[in-house]
Structures are given as structure tokens and as C-alpha cells.
């Protein structure tokens, strides 16, 4: 009588008690989760946090990995469709290629939640659960700006995979902070002619970002990052080195990039950014090899994703705070904050909060 709109809930008292006495929605077997790869600690963190949260809630959901392959991802989605899931939580390997998988899910009546990375160019995405990725890039850029004094500081730029929408958002955030400091001469870009050609522009179009990313992409891969950095250092002169400032997009690539700068005899000091607060990078920060990381509390992302999945199973619309355009539609989104972490606050942020144990590291007491 109420849900149909015949009467208004406000006409009565006692409806809340009725609502809370309803049986909870059955989640078991109805939610499928697809993550990009087991080869990066970031996504293992997500798997672990998903398993912990599902267990705590008494839920059961399958988690499949795509191992860096869009074809495998499509297979995973087909398998979950066959199993009869009602909600799909998916972090796409390739944001545009995943549109086909999302379309197939939609056709089967499944609600799709894009997780961390946005699925592009399709109307089959119902909801987007993400971190504030622009803030991730802005915090990386700000760290370098805060540490730079004088003029002419050598700046090396590296980016994520062009197939990942986040790579653009991170770069956009970093550029918004770095560009004014490039324009005023604080920094001089040393490894990207495309970035130099665009350095007068405060805001870049996606196509312009793509030109720079195409030149400095790590493809989110340790070896690609290592090879690119070594190639950059080989073609740079000793004068292009000295005390260098390095925008590295995430922890996995940051360690490769930092190792390469660290073994160049003309590099006197190097400040390298990162993100994800991977354990290995926390150790690098403690050891002074990586300058900072951006902590993204995966527990929050997992909680938001599960909350959205349950709302969708109940036929409700999950709460959105804004939206992201995916090239086709504005996807309702919820985003969580991120925290800049360096030697000074690593203990307070990651150990005292209980996220990691001090015993996981050497040098943190
Ligand atoms: C994620 C990062 C991750 C990167 C590489 C991005 O989409 O937001 O946390 O480091 O992909 O996997």
C-alpha cells in the first residue's frame, strides 16, 4: 500500500518497525566480483578485504581474476552470468574493452557496479565506486611542489596504462598542481617532449593527456617502468639529473623507477611519488628510497561496493554523491578520500590505525 504509492508512509506510525523486521536480502550466490590481476599487490589487498568484509557480513560471493586479459575478463563475466548472479562488481582490465562484458551483463538483467576503474563507452554501468582519483594525482604533485626550492629542478613524469581511465584522472590531478610550477620555472620536464609542448596549458583535453601518457606510460608494469626510466636516463645529460623530482603513478612502478634513479651515478637525490600504500613501498619509504605514497583505504571501497550491491539486490538506488561521465553516460558515483603518506606520518596513518602491523616492516617501532 505504501511502496505502490497508494498511501504515504507519513500517514502512519509503526512502519519503520515493520521494515526492520523484514528478512534481510539473500546475498549468497547473487553477487560476482571480477578483479584485474593477482600479479599486483594492490588487487590482492582488494581480494583480502572483500573476503574479510563478506565473511563478517555472513555473505558469500565469488571472486574471479582476469590476469591482465580482457578476454579472460569476458569469460569470467560470462561464467558469472551463467551462474545467475544478479549484481556484478567489476574492476576492468581495460576500461573500454570491458564495455562488451558490461553490455552482456545488462542484457542478462544484471546490475553492474564499476569498481575503482570506470568502464567506458557503455550505458550498462549502474554505479561507480571509487576513490578520489583526482586527489591522488594532486597529492603526488603537491608533494613534489612542497619539496622543491629555487628554479630549474629536473622533473620526470611517468603515468599509468592508457587503457585505464584512472591513469588520465591521476595525471589530470598531478598536472593541475605541477603545471603552474613548470610554467614559473620551478620545474623543467626532462623526459617528455609532448608534455613540454603542452606545458603552457593549465588544463589539458583528454586527447592532449593521451599524447603525454602515450610517451611516459608504464602500462602499470614494473618492467616497462624500469626500461622506460633507464632509456630516459640514458638519453639525459648529467645536467638533466642532479636532484630529481619524479612523478611515479603507483607503488609498483615507483619502486622500479626509484631503483633506476638510485643506480644512476649522476643522480644525487631523487624524490619519487606513488600510491596504494603497498607494503613493499612502505618499506621503501622507511628506507628513504620512495618519498611518498597515497593511502587508499581499500576497506572503505569494499564496504561501499558491498553496500551498493545489497541496495541494488533490494531494488533500491545506492546513494550517489556526484557522477563520472564514461564517454556515454553520467554514472552515479560514490568516492572515498585519500591520504598522502611519507616518513613523517607513516606510523600514525598505517600502523597506529591498525591497517598494517609494525612487525611487517623493519625500522618502524
Ligand atoms: C588503481 C591503482 C593501481 C593501478 C594499477 C589503478 O586503476 O586505482 O590503485 O595501482 O590501477 O593496477
Ligand 1 atom with the smallest distance to the CA of 166 is: 7
Provide the residue count of the chain.
Answer: 365
With cell 631503483, the residue in question is 259
CA of 286 to the centre of ligand 1 (A): 22
Instruction: Please give the number of the atom of ligand 1 that sits closest to the Cα of 165.
Output: 7
Task: Catalogue all structural domains in the chain, each as residue range(s) with its CATH number.
Answer: 31-125+298-336 (3.40.50.2300), 133-296+341-360 (3.40.50.2300)
Contact 260, 229 (CB under 8 A): yes
Report the separation in Å between the CA atom of 44 and the middle of ligand 1, taken as the mean of its atom positions: 12
Measured between alpha carbons, how far is 6 from 258 in angstroms, rounded to an integer? 65
Is residue 160 within 8 A of residue 225, CB to CB? The reply is no
Which atom of ligand 1 is the closest one to the Cα of 131? 8
Mean pLDDT of the chain: 95
Asked if the model's pLDDT at residue 10 lies above 80, the reply is no
187 touches 245 (CB < 8 A):
yes
Nearest to 196 by CA among 187, 144, 246: 187
| CA 232 to centroid of ligand 1, rounded, Å | 23
Q: What is the pLDDT of residues 321-362, one digit of tens each?
A: 999 999 999 999 999 999 999 999 999 999 999 999 999 999
Which residue's entry shows cell 558515483?
Answer: 333
DSSP E strand stretches across 212-306: 242-247, 267-272, 292-295
Residue 19 has pLDDT above 60, yes or no: no
CA distances to 20, 63, 94, 117, 303 from 308, rounded to whole Å, are 18, 17, 23, 16, 9
pLDDT of 260 above 90? yes
CA count, 13 A, side-chain hemisphere, 2: 11
What is the whole-number distance in angstroms between the Cα of residue 87 and the centre of ligand 1?
A: 23
Burial of 88 (0-12, 13-18, 19+ CB in 10 A): buried
Q: Compute the distance from residue 250 Cα to the ligand 1 centre, in Å.
A: 7
Tell whether the model's pLDDT for residue 4 goes beyond 70: no
What is the per-residue pLDDT for 26? 84
- pLDDT digit string, tens, across residues 148-202: 999 999 999 999 999 999 999 999 999 999 999 999 999 999 999 999 999 999 9
pTM above threshold 0.85: yes
CA distance 244 to 232: 13
Nearest residue (by CA) to ligand 1, atom 5, is: 220
* Residue found under cell 596549458: 201
Which atom of ligand 1 is closest in space to residue 40's alpha carbon? 12
| Ligand 1 geometric centre to CA of 4 (Å) | 43
Query: Measured between alpha carbons, how far is 320 from 311 in angstroms, rounded to an integer?
Result: 12
pLDDT higher than threshold 90 for residue 23: no
Considering only CA atoms, which residue is closest to atom 6 of ligand 1? 166
91 Cα nearest atom in ligand 1? 7
How does pLDDT run across 169-179, given as a tens digit for each residue?
999 999 999 99
pLDDT (tens digit per residue) in 95-133: 999 999 999 999 999 999 999 999 999 999 999 999 999
- Which ligand 1 atom sits closest to the C-alpha of 220? 5
Task: Quote the cell numbers at residue 117.
Answer: 576503474
Which of 95-101's residues contact partners 24+ apart within 8 Å by CB, and which partners?
95/119, 95/120, 95/163, 95/164, 95/165, 96/120, 96/121, 96/163, 97/70, 97/73, 97/163, 98/70, 98/73, 99/124, 100/74, 101/73, 101/74, 101/77
Answer yes or no: are the C-beta atoms of 252 and 42 closer than 8 Å.
yes
- Report the separation in Å between the CA atom of 3 and the middle of ligand 1, taken as the mean of its atom positions: 41
In angstroms, what is the span from residue 338 Cα to ligand 1's centroid? 13
The confidence band for 295, taking pLDDT boundaries of 50, 70 and 90, is: very high
- DSSP-based three-state secondary structure for 210: helix
Phi then psi dihedrals of residue 33, to 5 deg: -125, 130
Provide the pLDDT confidence category of residue 17 given band limits of 50, 70 and 90.
low
Nearest CA to ligand 1 atom 10: 250
Percent of the chain with pLDDT over 90: 90
Q: What DSSP letter does each residue of 11-63 carry, written as one string?
A: G-SSHHHHHHTSPPPP-TTTEEEEES-SSSHHHHHHHHHHHHHHHHHT---EE
Please list every protein residue whose CB sits less than 6 Å from any atom of ligand 1: 40, 42, 116-117, 160, 164, 166, 220, 250, 275-276
Which residue among 220, 254, 255, 302 is best mutated to probe the pocket of ligand 1, counting the most ligand atoms within 8 A of its Cβ?
220
How far apart (Å, rounded) are the C-alpha atoms in residues 224 and 226? 5
Amino acid at each position: 500500500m505504501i511502496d505502490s504509492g497508494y498511501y504515504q508512509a507519513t500517514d502512519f506510525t509503526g512502519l519503520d518497525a515493520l521494515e526492520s523486521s523484514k528478512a534481510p536480502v539473500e546475498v549468497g550466490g547473487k553477487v560476482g566480483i571480477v578483479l584485474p590481476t593477482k600479479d599486483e599487490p594492490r588487487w590482492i589487498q582488494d581480494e583480502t578485504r572483500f573476503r574479510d568484509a563478506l565473511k563478517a557480513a555472513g555473505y558469500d560471493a565469488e571472486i574471479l581474476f582476469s590476469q591482465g586479459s580482457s578476454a579472460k575478463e569476458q569469460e569470467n563475466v560470462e561464467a558469472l552470468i551463467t551462474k545467475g548472479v544478479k549484481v556484478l562488481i567489476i574492476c576492468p582490465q581495460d576500461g573500454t574493452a570491458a564495455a562488451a562484458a558490461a553490455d552482456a551483463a545488462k542484457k542478462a538483467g544484471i546490475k553492474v557496479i564499476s569498481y575503482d576503474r570506470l568502464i567506458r563507452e557503455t550505458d550498462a554501468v549502474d554505479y561507480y565506486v571509487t576513490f578520489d582519483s583526482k586527489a591522488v594525482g594532486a597529492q603526488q604533485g603537491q608533494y613534489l611542489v612542497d619539496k622543491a626550492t629555487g628554479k630549474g629542478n629536473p622533473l620526470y613524469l611517468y603515468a599509468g596504462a592508457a587503457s585505464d581511465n584512472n591513469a588520465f584522472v591521476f595525471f589530470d590531478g598531478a598536472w593541475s598542481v605541477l603545471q603552474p610550477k613548470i610554467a614559473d620555472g620551478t620545474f623543467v620536464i626532462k623526459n617528455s617532449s609532448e608534455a613540454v609542448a603542452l606545458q603552457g596549458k593549465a588544463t589539458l583535453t583528454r586527447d592532449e593527456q593521451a599524447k603525454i601518457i602515450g610517451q611516459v606510460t608504464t602500462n602499470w608494469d614494473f618492467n616497462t617502468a624500469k626500461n622506460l626510466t633507464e632509456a630516459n636516463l640514458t638519453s639525459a645529460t648529467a645536467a638533466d639529473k642532479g636532484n630529481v623530482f619524479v612523478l611515479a603513478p603507483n607503488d609498483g612502478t615507483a619502486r622500479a623507477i626509484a631503483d633506476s634513479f638510485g643506480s644512476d651515478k649522476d643522480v644525487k637525490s631523487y624524490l619519487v611519488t606513488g600510491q596504494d600504500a603497498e607494503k613493499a613501498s612502505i618499506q621503501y619509504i622507511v628506507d628513504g628510497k620512495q618519498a611518498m605514497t597515497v593511502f587508499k583505504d581499500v576497506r572503505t571501497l569494499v564496504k561501499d561496493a558491498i553496500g551498493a550491491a545489497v541496495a541494488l539486490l533490494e531494488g533500491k538506488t545506492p546513494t550517489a554523491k556526484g557522477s563520472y561521465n564514461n564517454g556515454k553516460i553520467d554514472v552515479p558515483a560514490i568516492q572515498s578520500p585519500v591520504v598522502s603518506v611519507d616518513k613523517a606520518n607513516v606510523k600514525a596513518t598505517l600502523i597506529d590505525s591498525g591497517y598494517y602491523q609494525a612487525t611487517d616492516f623493519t625500522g618502524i617501532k
